[in-house]
Structure 1
Amino acid sequence: MNNFTYFIPTRILFGAGQLAHLHEQQLPGKKALIVISSGRSMKDGGYLSRVEEQLDLAGVGSVLFDQIKPNPTLKNVMDGAAMAKENGCDFVVGLGGGSSMDAAKAIAFAAINPGYLWEYSFSMTGGKKTPVNAPLPIVAVTTTAGTGSEVDPWAVITKEETEEKSGFGFESMYPALSIVDSDLMMTVPPILTAYQGMDAFFHASESVINTKNHPMGEMFALKTIELLAACLPGAVKDGSDKEARAHVALANTLAGYYMLCTSAHSMEHAMSGFYPNLPHGAGLIMIAHAYYQHFADLHVCDGQMIKMAKAMGVENAVSGQEFVDALDKLLADCNVEALKMSEYGITPESLKKFPERARKVLGGDFSADPAVLTDNDILSIYQKSFR
């Protein structure tokens, strides 16, 4: 338990106003592919022009790829990689939320490795090949607080033909530089603030109940839980609250420093793989109560749940149930306690295809769950979560 290896090679500029210092950094090339979503927020909010200005000040040219979907697809990635190669880009900037940063990492990989990205994936239909080259260097500028993608080497990509949403990554895919500037998060709508913040929360809570958990990393996870329980409702209620936004941003990055996801993330990947309009954070919220209640009822991780309850302000917690109750209160305080699967097209009958798929895509580690989940257990959690 005293032995560990810790490696996060990403240089991070954290804090309000840090984007203004991007041009002062030693950037990893002279021409960047800027990757953003297909929506309007990066352009209308002025974030894209600010990044372009910073690159100009640094003497770096850029081209724009603005086609990323909320759940980035394999085609998205290959199209972006083709643009990077055609324009001679020597690094990639991911600007936006987790989708843009994930796509930027995958594009950086696909732009310099031969063949098709999925040939290297370890997912259900992946080719599991060994990479030939390290990816192009990556710079991440996050405008949301949820995925922790700015400090990890992972990308979540969907192969549309097989409805397969899966994690993809290699150690070489850590960003070289990341900007975490809470001023860029002030205009995120309340519902998305909640979805993203709870994604970070579940990165932490899954890490704490994970049987492969380590005390050194647990400190990041418990601080994440403490910050989000205290500050996420305030950021949802008033997006202009700079202190709440800053604390939620810090929680997100801390969760990214130590992320050992359990089966819950794979269960959500099955959901939004089949139903790509479902936001990842929303899917996690939908199954959260039933998922944690299952383990609380079994009393298999009471000690870890008590730690989390205390981090959430339940000073004299003595049971796992108190964590579940505190989680329910946090969801209610963020106005997301009653999300409905049915609003995204999910039906009771369609739940039956989720357990098998959850085991075949990369999201979290079933072998690290506090108790073994059978397919019937997984289906029961989905069914109890259905509205």
Structure 2
Amino acid sequence: MTNNYYMPTKVIMGDDCVVKNCELFKVLGRKALIVTGTQSAKRNGSEKDVKTALESVGIQYQVFDKVMSNPTISCAYEGASLAKENGVDFIIAIGGGSPMDAGKAIALLAAQDIEEESLFLGNYQNKVLPMAFVPTTAGTGSEVTQYSILTNDKAQTKTSIASDLLFPTVTFLDAKYTVHLGVTTTINTAIDALSHAVEGMLSVKASIVSDALAAASIQMIIDCTPKMLLALQAGSEAAFDLEQREQLLQASFMAGMVIAQTGTTVVHAMGYSLTYFKGIDHGRANGLLLGEYLKLVEKAQPDLAAKILKTMSFAKAEQLLELLGKLLGQREEINAEEIKFYSKKAIQTKNIANCIVKPTEDDLRTMFVQSFAK
């Protein structure tokens, strides 16, 4: 078997790493477009630190802070137009998965003219604006991947732009920006990272290297779950200290490195409908489905399931289901017609071919039913 490993992003980790490494921005260009949401980057201090770093090395900047949760295609085009109008020559994305996904699409669209109907076809010129990313949640891993996930209303789902052009040039990991994340957001993003790592091990593209990263990421996340349960019980994010925040951020980063090599599986394919049609947070959607897919793997390839479960110190997939149940709480309601529709959409995705254990459409319906059983 032949495997490749490619992760060209330079990663800087540590306290105040944005300001301390401000010289790195000078390599990227003279004027930046800061891509972010409306509030969180301002509250957690990340936007202020980026501006301080840019000003200290004489780099001008424009701010595009209109990125919504699950960014749309039109949002990406709007940001790209602003970038062109202001002559920016690199992008800085600050936030969770949404600003980072939008930032990648903006970097691509600001560098070349791509019609909307061709956006997801992959026929791109070798042109993109350099990117610097500052993640402020611990879950998406987008800071080290080549994917930009956008809400695609025409297809009624989330669709991925996938190209090596979209690897960020440099990423700054500072856990202090995640300190004030609420309990629900902390758990949902951690489960997103857990899903990335587990799905990476269930991918036909898995390798010794990606599995090693995935196993370490899984262990780090599972190690933090007792504090997650305590935080839920107390109703306060104060249950997490900076050490746990750093551990989750690094686990998310490693899980991102995994899916950059392996891609994702049926869990993501099924989860996209939950997010698009039901408004369920992406990480939560993955968590609602992950245990049931691992149960299917346990039946079809018990050794593979056991390998993954061992990283969690579990013997059976049912133990993961029990843990996820405690973390996710009461489940949403999905009716039989919705399940049939979502299953039909998911079975048509490329994610199915990426699964070592390839589910049928009947399997998908069963997983949905079991995931949302009362």
For 2:205, the equivalent position in structure 1 comes to: 212
Matching residue's letter, 1:84? A
Verify the 8 A CA contact 2:45 2:177 in the aligned structure 1. no
Q: Name the residue aligned to 1:50.
A: 49
Counterpart check, 1:201 vs 2:194: yes
How is 1:85-104 mapped onto 2 (pairs within 5 angstroms)?
A: 85-104=84-103
Moved more, 77-86 or 21-30: 21-30
Q: Tell me the CA shift for residue 120 of structure 1.
A: 2.9
Aligned partner (choices 305, 319, 335) of residue 326 of structure 1: 319
Distance 2:202 2:366 in 1: 20
Picking from 337, 342, 345, the partner of 1:349 is 337
Q: Could you say which residue in structure 2 is the equivalent of 1:125? A: none
Q: 1:220 to 1:213 in 2, by over 3 A?
A: same
Structure 2: state its 5+ residue gaps. Answer: 232-237
- The amino acid across from 1:99 in the alignment is S
Q: 2:268 — aligned with what?
A: 265
Give the % identical residues.
28
Deviation string for 1:298-354 (max 9, x for gaps)?
2x222222222222124xx4xxxx1x1332343255x31x34233xxx443222211
Q: SS state of the match for residue 67, structure 1?
A: coil
| 2:77 counterpart letter in structure 1 | M
Deviations 1:180-220 (A, max 9, x none): 11111111111111110111111111111223321121100
Residue 140 of structure 2 aligns to which amino acid in structure 1?
A: T
Question: What is the deviation of 1:28?
Answer: 0.5
Instruction: Report how far residue 5 of structure 1 moved.
Output: 2.4
- The answer to whether the 8 Å contact 1:189/1:239 transfers is no
Letter in 2 for 1:88: G
Against the structure 1 CA distance between its residues 368 and 153, is the aligned structure 2 distance closer, same or farther, given a 3 Å change threshold? closer
Contact 1:188 1:239 (8 Å CA) reproduced: no
Instruction: State whether structure 2 residue 343 is matched by structure 1 residue 340.
Output: no
CA distance 1:94–1:340, shift in 2 (3 Å): same
RMSD of the TM alignment (CA)?
Answer: 1.9
Cα distance 1:139–1:89, how it changes in 2: closer, same or farther (>3 A)? same
Partner residue, 2:32: 32
TM-score (ref. length: structure 2): 0.91
In 2, distance between residues paired with 1:239 and 1:36? 27
Distance 1:109 1:359, change over 3 A: farther
Structure 1 residue 256 corresponds to structure 2 residue 256? yes
Determine the structure 1 residue equivalent to 2:178: 185
Shift of 1:361: 4.7
Query: What SS class does the counterpart of residue 366 from structure 1 fall into?
Result: coil
Tell me, yes or no, if the aligned pair for 1:286 and 1:341 is still in contact at 8 Å: no
* CA shift for structure 1 position 256: 1.1
Asked if the contact 2:213–2:258 (Cα under 8 Å) also holds between the matched residues in 1, the reply is yes
Q: 1:288 — aligned with what?
A: 290
Given that residues 221 and 258 in structure 1 are in contact (C-alpha distance below 8 angstroms), is that contact kept between their aligned partners in structure 2?
yes
**2:218 matched to 1:225?**
yes
Q: Secondary structure at the match of 2:246?
A: helix
Offset at 1:267? 1.0
TM-score, normalised with respect to structure 1? 0.88
Distance 2:204 2:155 in 1: 31
**2:22 is matched with which residue?**
23
Distance, in Å, in 1 between the alignment partners of 2:246 and 2:204 is 31
In structure 2, the CA distance between the partners of 1:182 and 1:307, relative to structure 1 (3 Å rule), is same
Q: Aligned pair in 2 of structure 1 residues 67, 248: CA closer, same or farther (>3 Å)?
A: same
- Paired residues of 1:97 and 1:142 also in contact (CA < 8 A): yes
Q: Retained in 1: the 8 A contact 2:288–2:324? A: no
Q: Residue deviations 1:278-298, cap 9 Å, x none?
A: 2100111112232222222x2
Q: CA deviation at 1:67?
A: 1.1
Inter-CA distance 60–382: structure 2 relative to 1 (3 Å threshold): same
What is the rounded CA distance, in whole Å, between the counterparts of 1:272 and 1:18 in structure 2?
Answer: 33
Q: CA deviation at 1:249?
A: 1.0
Per-residue CA shift, 1:142-194, capped at 9, x if unaligned? 00110110001111101224323111121111000101111111111111111
C-alpha distance 213-267 of structure 1, shift in aligned 2 (>3 A): same
Distance change in 2, residues 1:182/1:287 (3 Å): same
More displaced 10-residue stretch of structure 1: 101-110 or 230-239: 230-239
Shift of 1:274: 2.7
